[in-house]
Amino acid sequence: MASPAAALPLEVLLQLFNSLDARSYFAARKVCRWWYTASFDLLNTTRLLETLPLVSPRVSGVGANNDAEGIYALCKDASRTLMLETSIRRSEHNEDEGESRALKPCSLPHGLPAAHSIRTGTMVVLDGSTIRVFDTSTSTEILDCQRRVHARFGSGLWMPAPPPASCKIALAANGRLLALAHMHTIQLYDLTAGSERCLVSDDVSSVNENSIVGVEFAQRAFLLRVHLSQKGQVVYLGSPAEHPETHPSADFEHWEGTGGLNNRFLDSSLLVPAIGAADGQMAWLSGLQLLRPLQKGYFFAAQRHGGGHSSRYTLSHIKVVSSPLATVDGGSVVEVNRLESFLSAQDYNLAGLSDINMGTWGSMPSAHEHRPRFMLSACGRMLVLAEREKRRDWPTPSTQLFVYRLAGMERIAKSTADARIAKLIEAGSESNRTMHKTRVAAVPVCLGATKGQDLEVLSEPCDGATALGKITLTTNETRCSWVLNNI
């Protein structure tokens, strides 16, 4: 027996599609084959596209420089880029199951510098001039060991006693390495050694006013990501693993070598953004985070400021050179995906007619937070962004999570030949510079907000042909997961 929906006349269906917003439009197309065919009405498709964030600065109107085939292709691209055919399901983890037990050390003093290893359940607290290491994998915190802070090096005083609240602390994911940072100096400790082993670097910043405001281990503890106070500058110390298949994580000997704590692998202030500045105005990158190695380089995400344009996010690629020590080539930055923020998307969002809360102030990242956190999904098709929520930061902060659907990244991730990868990266860069053709802006989907300050963002693959993946955000207060599926 035929479905009643398939019996509706074409004229009625066209009126129905004309009254739908973008997300409802793409959902209605899946009702039956007849509805899917009826959705390919040129006038309705053009009207729909005019409600979406499109970039067409040189030509006014969606249909002005696109034929029917181009408009349908643009509609398909909009569905993919804006994730209009994606269902999102959120789940809170139950604390009774032990999922978040290691994140709430309620019996320990508050206000002390502390760092967690979610993987091992280890927590390190800087209590006065003493480093205390706790095992929080059980219901009660157990003191594993403690040691003294090296307060002096050379002839100078490194850290006041007791350490100030401005002292930054980081713990490697394997719980074996500890980094302490204060002003311009970093100390690195081996927590597995019976005797106290410590390294010191006191020249992270050559500018007195540019002090360290954050530190964390990256790339399986082979690199140390250091945040500086001026313009969101980021410095990576250390060097990548030469043979990652035989060295799953770094040890203290790695940091003692020539490519260790004294090797400046990357300095974001020395990078040249791929897209040129307008009228000679300077552009710079801040909050930079290395994501994934690819052949002879890395993908990274960062905020792009200045250059006569509104601030936004960028996904780019940079090459690594190895003579004599591993460093990045600051002039090899290639932008693969342009990622919009609220201000950079104003021109085409405020003029739009969309009623699905896309591109509004509350559903867009600001690109002005000092320490955003990025994560490239396992499939390479999504970039997850954790940013401090703008509307709620007192008495406790909250974290807002966004997902960008990336263009061309899946083909790059599946390629193995250097020449093919270089061509695909350059193609992504060229698409960002091509402004004579209407394209869909990379506006993210806001997954929502959760209480606390972000500690870790993970992406896991899911079973099923329609599954995009599972995203888990862990904060110092709770843990939340989102499952994304294609409708």
CATH of domain 112-270: 2.130.10.10
Instruction: Write out the chain in H/E/C secondary structure.
Output: CCCHHHHCCHHHHHHHHHCCCHHHHHHHCCCCHHHHHHCCCHHHHHHHHCCCCEECCCCCCCHHHCCHHHHHHHHHHHHHHCCCCEEEEEEECCHHHCCCHHHCCCCCCCCCCEEEECCCCEEEEEECCEEEEEECCCCCCEEEEEEECCCEECCEECCCCCCCCCCEEEECCCCCEEEEEECCEEEEEECCCCCCCEEEECCCCCCCCCCEEEEEEECCCCEEEEEECCCCCEEEEECCCCCCCCCCCCCHHHHHCCCCCCCEEEEHHHCCCCCCCHHHCCEEEEEEEEEEEECCEEEEEEEEEECCCCCEEEEEEEEEEECCCEEECCCCCEEEEEECCCCCCHHHHCCCCCCCCCCCHHHCCCCCCCCCEEEECCCCCEEEEEEECCCCCCCCCEEEEEEEECCCHHHHHHCCCHHHHHHHHHHHHHHHHCCCCCEECCCCEEEEEEECCEEEEEEECCCCCCEEEEEEEEECCCEEEEEEEEC
Asked, colleague to colleague, whether 4-81 and 112-270 share their fold, the answer is: no
Per-residue pLDDT of the chain (487 residues; tens, 9 = 90+): 467 777 788 888 889 888 888 888 988 888 888 998 888 888 888 888 888 887 764 444 554 446 788 888 888 888 888 888 888 888 765 444 434 434 544 455 567 788 888 788 888 888 878 888 888 877 777 888 888 887 654 445 555 555 666 788 999 988 899 999 888 889 899 988 866 788 888 777 665 568 888 899 999 999 999 998 888 899 999 999 877 666 788 999 999 988 889 899 999 988 877 655 555 678 889 999 999 888 788 999 999 988 878 888 999 999 998 878 888 888 888 888 889 887 776 655 544 444 455 656 567 888 877 678 999 887 788 899 998 876 665 667 788 899 999 876 655 655 544 555 555 555 555 445 444 467 788 889 888 888 887 778 888 877 766 778 888 888 877 888 898 888 7
Top-tier CATH class for 4-81: mainly alpha
Residues 6+ apart with CB under 8 A from 297: 317, 318, 319, 320, 328, 332
Domain locations in the chain? 4-81, 112-270, 276-339+407-438
Helix axes 42-49, 10-18, angle to 10 degrees: 10
